[in-house]
Amino acid sequence: MQTKLAAPAHAIADIVATAIPDDERLWVPQADNVWFRPLLLNTVNGEWVNLLRVRKSGILNRHRHPAPVHGYVIKGSWRYLEHAWVAREGMYVFEPPGEIHTLVVDDGPEMITLFHVSGALIYVDEQGHAKSYDDVHTKIELCRRHFSAVGLGVDYVKQFVR
Ligand code: FE
């Protein structure tokens, strides 16, 4: 082990965690058959890192990204209705700003993908008009409500927030 040097005075705390948790309560429900497991909820850059889990034939509603998304498929496969390709286990996906898509899982039982999302998911209608959104703050609020409901407490989310 290297000699430990003092961290810079204003450095924020690191996060080291088992990504796929044993405790089912860490999976926050997002939609039917869709959950996310928060890893980093960054309120300074307006971004988050989470695992997305979809079971059976779940759908993540059509949305637009104003900022980049990076994905790494850990388990299973999924696709976007708007694209011909399929994201399979072990694959990396980059979603550029302006990308509009609807994520579907056709063949369960389960897919898990790590997503690093900047900015927001802007949910859009058939014409591409904004209907609602998710950003780091709506994600935090979903976590607060869920962790409270399952007995972990409203402040449990704080360990993921920077
Ligand atoms: Fe997306």
Residue 4, pLDDT > 90, answer: no
Residue 61, pLDDT > 80, answer: yes
- Mean pLDDT of all residues in 121-141: 96
Considering the domain boundaries, does residue 1 fall inside one? no
5 C-alpha to ligand 1 centroid (Å): 40
Considering the domain boundaries, does residue 117 fall inside one? yes
Considering the domain boundaries, does residue 17 fall inside one? no
Considering the domain boundaries, does residue 11 fall inside one? no
Considering the domain boundaries, does residue 145 fall inside one? yes
101 C-alpha to ligand 1 centroid (Å): 6
Considering the domain boundaries, does residue 40 fall inside one? yes
Number of separate domains in the chain: 1
CATH code of residue 155: 2.60.120.10
Helix and strand numbers, DSSP H then E, in the chain: 1, 12
55 C-alpha to ligand 1 centroid (Å): 17
125 C-alpha to ligand 1 centroid (Å): 15
Q: Which domain holds residue 61?
A: 24-160
121 C-alpha to ligand 1 centroid (Å): 7
Q: What is the mean pLDDT of the chain?
A: 95
Residue range 83-118, pLDDT digits in tens? 999 999 999 999 999 999 999 998 779 999 999 999
The sheet that has 28-31: what strands, in order across it?
28-31, 34-42, 47-55, 110-118, 69-75, 92-95
